[in-house]
Chain A
Amino acid sequence: MVATLQFRNVSKVYQTATGPIEALRDFDLDVGEGEFISIVGPSGCGKSTLLSMASGLAFPSSGTISVRGEPVTAPVTDLGIVFQTDVLLDWRTIIDNILIQPEMRGLDRNAFRPRALDLMKMVGLEGFEKKFPYELSGGMRQRVSICRALIHEPQLLLMDEPFGALDALTREQMVMELHQIWLETRKSVIFITHDIQEAVLLADRVIVMTPRPGRIAEIIKTDLPHPRRPATMETKRFVSVVAQIRHLFEKHGVLKSY
């Protein structure tokens, strides 16, 4: 099977005014079709670098990245991106914020309208089509940006700490919603986070990263049954995976051991 997204010995060195900075070293990963991958690591472990390379906006210093077997040489368009900030356009209504995706691709926006409404219904935003972003709460805004990332049915979803700016309660709610969306759509997802629990709860595999230069410390298969529920966090397996990741971070000096 050809992987949706493949990293082969990817390294990235940035040239800065104060000398070269090695952001990523020997990153090697195959993201399978419909697989949910969480990447968890400290700040500066090259997570953002990974995403910008996966979307074809930056290129590795060495190694190769390919999407379904094709090496990436230009911006990848068959993907949806969700950032930590919702990046909604203040001057567009909610539905127009979602429909900008087909619009920018030169597709018929009216043809995507029913699907946009379906997506909004799925994330509980029914009836908010004509509202403007400033009329919505942070969680609702992030839901809109998820709809925007899904409307064109991309094969791959890149999420860069999407819930990092939300309060704890909204965050938990959104994690479960994302899991539901993933179960229904089965996209390949790369989900970047600082939150170990979030990473484990959502993922098939968790990639644990080391501090700069970012390397893979370990790849952990979660092996938790679907669908996952808040109660999943109380299972023995979940607790042991979280503990395992904690130990890895302690070992690499990301977390202090007490």
Chain B
Amino acid sequence: MVAQTQDETRATTSRRRWWPASLDSTLLGLALVLIWEVGVRVGQVPVYLLPPPSTVLMRIVTDYRLLFMHTIVTVNEVLVGFGLAIAVSIPLAAILAQFRPLERALYPILVASQTIPKVAIAPLIVVWFGFGLFPKVLIAFLICFFPILIDALIGFRSTPKEVIWLARSMGAPRRRIFLNFQLPAALPHIFGGLKVASTLAVVGAVVGEFVASDRGLGYQLIVANGMLDVVLSFAILVVLSVVGILLFALVDLVERLLLPWHISHRSTGQERP
């Protein structure tokens, strides 16, 4: 009976498609790049306004040393800021979820603090903490902190009351209830927050570099813009987005490894025998 249902689903989905789903977006992306390339060349758009993708690609190849050096700097800021946000947000969410009064007191303040744009306080942070690695890490941290906290909090709070009831009937102490029932159930939510935050971390680091820096992709972007070197600007944007995608993919991979049981990763989807 199991085999039958699976065969049926497979039959309905595979009738018209034999290619992997990831190919769709790859093809679409390539098509867009192609339109861009052809459009720029046919329309004779000047390179200092919008360079064709092939020129940008060539620039990445020729300037790879420069780009690589700055990428290392930025990636370092991103990873430290992101890691710090994970290390602070998740435990904080766990504590808030355990103590309702604390949550009620702290939650509005956290939300209010989020209404202050990080970009606006970046100059202040530089005034306070100088030009080094720390202010960039701090901005990346501040920007990542909130989505992880909120999603983790939702995750920890969404344990059904029956589960808690069941756990208490087993005489389990609070710590064991948390580790065995609440934390695993919250992980899918937490990973949702981590994915959002992973892309924001790059934004945070670049904002930090914009304000005050002498290295990093954000710094190099300012320099390229100052020199009207649009091709280099585009090259940097490509590298930045690759960094963001890789970090996102890393989070996704860890999620797949940790949560093979979760509905979003089941190869055969929703169906049950």
Chain A residues close to B by CB (< 8 Å):
52, 55, 57, 75-77, 79-81, 83, 85, 87, 89-91, 100-101, 103-105, 132-138
Contact = CB atoms under 8 A, between A and B. Distances in A.
A91 B259 contact: yes
Given A134-B261, A135-B272, A137-B273, 10 more contacts: A57-B165, A77-B169, A79-B169, A83-B162, A83-B166, A89-B181, A91-B261, A134-B266, A135-B2, A136-B273
B83 interface: no
Listed from nearest, the 5 A-B pairs whose CB atoms lie closest are A104-B170, A77-B171, A104-B172, A75-B168, A91-B261
A80 B184 CA distance: 23
B133 interface: no
Interface of B: 2, 160, 162-163, 165-172, 176-177, 180-181, 184-185, 259, 261-263, 266, 272-273
Contacts of B181: 89
Contacts of B167: 104
Given A55-B169, A81-B166, A87 B160 contact: yes
A134 B180 CA distance: 18
A23 to B, nearest CB: 16
B263 A134 contact: yes
Contact of B163 (A87, A135, A138): A87
A66 B248 CA distance: 55
Contacts of A52: 165
Contacts of A138: 272
20 contacts: A75-B169, A76-B169, A77-B171, A81-B169, A83-B162, A89-B181, A89-B184, A91-B259, A100-B170, A100-B180, A103-B180, A104-B167, A104-B170, A104-B176, A104-B177, A104-B180, A105-B171, A133-B261, A136-B273, A138-B272
Nearest to B177: A104
Given A104-B171, A135-B273, A81 B184 contact: no
Contacts of A87: 160, 162-163, 166
Contacts of A55: 165, 168-169
A80 B166 CA distance: 8
B271 to A, nearest CB: 9
Contact of B171 (A75, A90, A133, A134): A75
Nearest to B167: A104
Nearest to A103: B180
Contacts of B169: 55, 75-77, 79-81
B163 A137 contact: no
A90 B265 CA distance: 13
A79 B261 CA distance: 29
Contacts of B168: 55, 57, 75
Nearest to B164: A57
Contacts of A136: 272-273
Given A104-B172, A137-B272, A90 B261 contact: yes
A100 B177 CA distance: 11
Contacts of A75: 168-169, 171
Which of the listed residues B170, B263, B266, B273 has the most CB atoms from chain A within 10 Å of its own CB?
B170
B184 A77 contact: no
